[in-house]
């Protein structure tokens, strides 16, 4: 016995609703995680022109440093790099910048982010500056953004490049190297 047109339409609707519900549940979990992170941290001020992806990963870096979550911070690193160096870099960044990352932070995004975007974090409460490189990497489903984390030496992790201005916006978000 074949189902009638009304029953077929009801089945199609039920399947579509089920598929949409499954997709929205995944999105809702990401949204809930983001909202939890966002509401439990100071807002990130932004100078320059980040993409959605470079802004998103930069926020996560600041949040993971502030929370002292070395494993989660290291997971944001470029997986083409040495895992032990990435983990040590994450630990160095947390040791050096945790207090500042928990307070007011401005992220200045230099140049454009299709190849690599330089981001300078200004940690206002501690008067520290941290330079990051955010880069796109190929993954199974396209492109993801990761952070270069190759600073296993604590002195290297806290060094500030000579071109980096002392305050956000001095160079108009254009690097001069």
Q: Of how many residues is the chain composed? A: 177
Which of 69, 95, 106, 68 lies closest to 151, judged by CA?
A: 95
The sheet carrying 44-48 orders its strands as 44-48, 105-110, 117-123, 128-139, 142-147
How high is the pLDDT of residue 11? 47
User: Is there a contact between 77 and 146 (Cβ–Cβ < 8 Å)?
Assistant: yes
- What residues form DSSP beta bridges with 118? 110, 133
How high is the pLDDT of residue 106? 97
3-state per-residue secondary structure call for the chain: CCCCHHHHHHHHHHHHHHHHHHHHHHHHHHHHHHHHHHHCCCCEEEEECCCHHHHHHHHHHHHHHHHCCHHHHHCCECCCCCHHHHHHHHHHHHHHHHHHHCCCEEEEEECCCCCCEEEEEEECCCCEEEEEEEEEEEECCEEEEEECCCCCCHHHHHCCCCCCCCCCCCCCCCCCC
How high is the pLDDT of residue 14? 47
- Give domain limits for the chain: 1-40, 43-158
Distances (CA, A) of 107 to 1, 44, 59, 146, 152: 65, 7, 9, 16, 23
Return per-residue pLDDT of the chain as tens, 177 residues: 566 665 555 544 444 444 444 555 555 666 666 667 666 777 899 999 898 899 999 999 999 999 999 999 999 998 776 788 899 999 999 999 999 999 999 999 997 766 678 999 999 999 999 999 998 887 777 788 899 999 999 999 999 999 999 999 888 766 554
How high is the pLDDT of residue 3? 60
Handedness of CA 8, 11, 16, 17 (dihedral sign): positive
In this prediction the pTM is 0.77
């Amino acid at each position: 016995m074949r189902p009638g047109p009304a029953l077929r339409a009801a089945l199609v609707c039920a399947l579509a609703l089920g598929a949409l519900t499954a997709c929205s549940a995944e999105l809702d979990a990401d949204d809930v995680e983001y909202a939890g992170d966002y509401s439990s941290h100071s807002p990130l001020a932004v100078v320059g022109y980040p993409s959605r992806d470079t802004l998103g990963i930069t926020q996560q870096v600041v949040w993971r440093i502030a929370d002292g979550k070395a494993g989660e911070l290291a997971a944001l690193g470029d997986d083409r790099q040495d895992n032990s160096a990435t983990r040590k870099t994450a630990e160095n960044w947390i040791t050096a910048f945790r207090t500042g990352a928990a307070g007011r932070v401005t992220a200045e995004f230099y140049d454009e982010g299709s190849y690599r975007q330089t981001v300078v974090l200004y940690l206002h409460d501690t008067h520290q500056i941290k330079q990051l490189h955010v880069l796109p990497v190929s993954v199974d489903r396209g492109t993801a953004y990761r952070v270069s984390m190759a600073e296993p030496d604590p002195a290297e992790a806290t060094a500030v490049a000579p071109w980096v201005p002392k305050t956000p916006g001095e160079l108009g978000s254009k690097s001069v190297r």
